[in-house]
Amino acid sequence: MTATTVRALRLADTAEAADLAAFLGRLIRYDRAAAVRLQAGGGAVAVFGRPPAFEVLAIRTARLRDAGAVESSAEGSVEGPVELDVTVSAGELLEGIDELTGGFGLPAAVTGPPWTGVLPPRGGWQRVPGLPGPDGLRQAVAAAVTEFRTRDEALPAAHRDRAERDRIGREIWSRTVGGTGLPLRAVHAAQSVGFLRPMPEDAPVALLRAGAWMRLRTPYGSIAVRTGGAGGIGGLSVTPT
């Protein structure tokens, strides 16, 4: 069998390409050297990123068009179903997206940071009740940001340093949403990467759990976070954005 290498993917429509580009742009805003893990199969592609300020994973999925992939081999270019799992530069992936056609080239693989080896499970998710609607979630984030700023401004000048601000932020963003167990920082992350923007009323947000993982799912993407003392996925910065 001749070896082939996937060199490009084609999304189902241009709107999905634009949404993926916007998602990558927000990740790069937090970290210009950001890497993403990309998995494709079954007619869809999932892009995993880690906005460093929140200790969560942000996941954007999109449908693939027809066969989905263009591959290269010794005989030239061929088309076919795609099965892919690779870590690449978020910036290079963004540069390769053609929003007019919905296609994008795949940059060379990179050695991923540690979080790329710790992804949430694909199955076994069960719905968790008690999650507020989108408006309630946005209000919770706004109230937390206001509280942070108020408490920060009230600090004596001698104590207004990074350590004290991190302590206040950690206290605020580690709070859970209602009785769900979802850390508030996951909701803040969803808003920051564009997953809580206005959405159709018939496409509500949902909260799911699988083992130690929780996933806040919206029509625009998901935020996954490990809970219950299972260990984090990197350092946490708590300054509001």
Question: What string of H, E and C letters represents the secondary structure of the chain?
Answer: CCCCEEEEEEECCHHHHHHHHHHHHHHHHHCCCCEEEEEEECCEEEEEECCCCCCCEEEEEEEEEEEEEEEEECCEEEEEECCEEEEEEHHHHHHCEECCCCEEECCCCCCCCHHHHCCCCCCCCEECCCCCCHHHHHHHHHHHHHHHHHHHHHCCHHHCCHHHHHHHHHHHHCCECCCCCCEHHHHHHHHHCCCCCCCCCCCCCEEEEECCEEEEEECCEEEEEECCCCCCCCCCCCCCC
- Are residues 107 and 207 located together in one domain of the fold? no
pLDDT for 108 equals: 93
Return d(Cα 91, Cα 144) in angstroms, integer.
31
Looking at residue 2, its pLDDT comes to 36
> Over the stretch 8-33, which tens digit does the pLDDT of each residue have?
899 999 999 999 999 999 999 999 99
Owning domain of residue 110: 5-117
pLDDT of residue 200: 79
Output the pLDDT for position 81: 58
Query: Does 238 reside within a domain?
Result: no
Are residues 95 and 169 part of one domain?
Answer: no
Q: Is 59 found in the same domain as 42?
A: yes
The pLDDT assigned to 19 comes to 94
pTM of the model: 0.85
Last-in-domain residue among 71, 91, 117: 117
Q: From 97, 117, 137, give the residue that closes a domain.
A: 117
Under a CB-based contact definition with an 8 Å cutoff, are residues 54 and 186 in contact? Answer: yes
pLDDT of residue 86: 93
Which of 87, 117, 147 is a domain's end point?
Answer: 117
What pLDDT does residue 15 have? Answer: 93
Residues 113 and 130 in one domain: no
Please indicate, yes or no, whether residues 79 and 16 belong to a single structural domain of this protein: yes
2 close to 75: Cβ distance less than 8 angstroms: yes
* β-pair partners for 222: 59, 217
* Domain annotation covers residue 188: yes
Tens of pLDDT, residue by residue, the chain (241 residues): 334 467 889 999 999 999 999 999 999 999 999 999 999 988 899 999 999 878 999 999 999 986 545 444 444 444 555 688 999 999 999 999 999 999 998 999 999 899 999 999 999 999 999 999 999 999 999 999 999 999 999 999 888 888 999 999 999 999 999 889 999 999 999 999 999 998 877 778 999 999 999 999 999 999 999 986 544 443 333 333 3
pLDDT at residue 227, rounded to an integer: 86
Q: Contact 214/181 with Cβ under 8 angstroms?
A: yes
Residues 6+ apart with CB under 8 A from 48: 36, 37, 38, 39, 57, 58, 59, 116, 119
Do 107 and 174 have their domain in common?
no
Identity of the amino acid at 136: G
Distance, in Å, from the CA atom of 42 to the CA atom of 103, rounded to the nearest integer, reads 17
